[in-house]
């Protein structure tokens, strides 16, 4: 089946009891067993370990990513945490993209480092820097591409080749592009990680996460963490995300078209200092974006002339765009990463990796691009 057909039909079938076309919300704690000898005969015992609604979403995401199995979690950060806990022990070392979501940086530096895990935040856009960062005790390479918020890309195939050569699992945060545009497992990665909160849901209705594994063996490692720590997604969230997935390709295609129109407009705006979007020919890694993905996504960032104060003024006075954290929803959102999503990253570290004070991040939605551009122009006229 092609992708759009799979996003509707994969992993689900009419309810055998009623014929309901939608997978029911199995809002239950426990499951009655036929007998001691037939314990788990139907595959379920307790909803911390598995739930039929969640299992349906896991099956759908497995097919969309082309993996062996999927685990779903209560939040995107729970999914990241499950990967870290599955492969890292005290005394181990991991290589992480130097530009990554602020929550990933916080988990590594403020929590896991307390338990004796060491991290190198490497420029994963440079495979040789990754190779040089590998140690005898390196147990995980975790990359985010496109990176949040600078959109810096990592060559997934190149890093996966290094990881395989060294016998280290390579996990890719694929939240920004989704399997419709980018499939890390096909490029050699071992795990594809998602905040389903974003494009999979697409409607600002839920928080959730997922880890798609290339092999059953890798899935067993993260599934053990899912169960042992109680991080499984709730059935209601799984139900809503199942519905969101059905329109994923349609939504992200329209959002990406809008993003391209907005990026091209801002690139020629006299009050905009710089614009970054992988679809622009001026984007430094444009050729890599074309090679490893089927689309450029719906995230754009730009810098206003006048620095942080001008950027803040723009975000405070803009209309139509909502000043809010999150991304990937049908509504267009505008964010100031330095004071919002990446506020826990130390200023010197932000400066080192290019998260500048005046960076304005756009998550482009489904509105008419002409209206979104006019709203930006009106706000820029006030700064």
Q: What is the pLDDT along the chain (383 residues), one digit of tens a residue?
A: 999 999 999 999 999 999 999 999 999 999 999 999 999 999 999 999 999 999 999 999 999 999 999 999 999 999 999 999 999 999 999 999 999 998 999 999 999 999 999 999 999 999 999 999 999 999 999 999 999 999 999 999 999 999 999 999 999 999 999 999 999 999 999 999 999 999 999 999 999 999 999 999 999 999 999 999 999 999 999 999 999 999 999 999 999 999 999 999 999 999 999 999 999 999 999 999 999 999 999 999 999 988 888 888 898 999 999 999 899 999 999 988 877 766 667 777 777 767 777 788 999 999 999 999 999 999 999 98
CA atoms of 161 and 140, how far apart (whole Å):
14
In degrees rounded to 5, what are phi and psi of residue 91?
Answer: 90, -10
pLDDT at 307: 81
* Catalytic residue list: 48, 101, 173, 198
pLDDT at 308: 81
Do residues 172 and 189 touch, judged by C-beta distance below 8 A? Answer: yes
pLDDT at 341: 67
- This prediction has a pTM of 0.96
CA atoms of 256 and 193, how far apart (whole Å):
21
pLDDT at 356: 72
Give 41: exposed, middle or buried? Use CB within 10 Å, 0-12, 13-18, 19+: exposed
Does the CA dihedral 118-127-63-216 come out positive or negative?
negative
pLDDT at 343: 66
Q: Show the tokens assigned to 185.
A: 């497992």
The alpha carbon of residue 140 and the mean position of all alpha carbons in its chain are separated, in whole angstroms, by 18
Domains parsed from the chain with CATH numbers: 3-245 (3.40.640.10), 248-380 (3.90.1150.10)
């Amino acid at each position: 089946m092609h992708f759009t057909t799979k996003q509707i039909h994969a992993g689900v079938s009419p309810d055998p009891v009623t014929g309901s076309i939608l997978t029911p919300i199995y809002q239950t704690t426990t499951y009655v067993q036929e007998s001691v000898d037939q314990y788990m005969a139907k595959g379920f015992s307790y909803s911390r370990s598995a739930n039929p609604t969640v299992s349906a979403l896991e099956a759908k995401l497995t097919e969309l990513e082309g993996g062996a199995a999927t685990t779903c979690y209560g939040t995107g950060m729970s999914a990241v945490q499950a990967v870290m806990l599955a492969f890292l022990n005290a005394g181990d070392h991991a290589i992480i993209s130097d530009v990554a979501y602020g929550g990933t940086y916080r988990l590594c530096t403020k929590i896991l480092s307390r338990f004796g895990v060491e991290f190198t935040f490497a420029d994963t856009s440079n495979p040789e820097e990754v190779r040089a960062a590998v140690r005898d005790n390196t147990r995980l390479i975790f990359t985010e591409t496109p990176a949040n918020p600078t959109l810096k890309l990592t060559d997934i195939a190149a890093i996966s080749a290094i990881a395989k050569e060294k016998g280290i699992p390579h996990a890719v945060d694929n939240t920004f592009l989704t399997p419709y545009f980018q499939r890390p497992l096909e490029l050699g990665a071992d795990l594809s990680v998602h905040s389903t909160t974003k494009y999979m849901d697409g409607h600002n209705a839920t928080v959730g996460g997922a880890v798609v594994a290339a092999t059953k063996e890798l899935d067993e490692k993260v599934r053990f963490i899912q169960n042992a720590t109680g991080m499984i997604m709730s059935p209601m969230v799984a139900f809503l995300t199942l519905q969101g997935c059905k329109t994923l390709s349609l939504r992200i295609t329209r959002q990406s078209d809008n993003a391209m129109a907005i990026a091209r407009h801002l690139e020629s705006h006299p009050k905009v200092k710089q614009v970054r979007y992988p679809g622009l020919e001026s984007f430094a890694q444009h050729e890599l974006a074309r090679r490893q993905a089927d689309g450029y996504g719906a995230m754009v960032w730009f810098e206003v002339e006048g620095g942080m104060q001008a950027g803040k003024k723009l975000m405070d006075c803009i209309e139509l765009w909502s000043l809010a954290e999150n991304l990937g929803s049908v509504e267009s959102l505008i964010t100031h990463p330095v004071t919002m999503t990446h506020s826990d990253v130390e200023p010197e570290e932000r400066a080192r990796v290019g998260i500048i004070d005046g960076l304005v991040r756009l998550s482009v939605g489904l509105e008419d691009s002409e209206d979104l551009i006019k709203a930006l122009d009106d706000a820029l006229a006030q700064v």
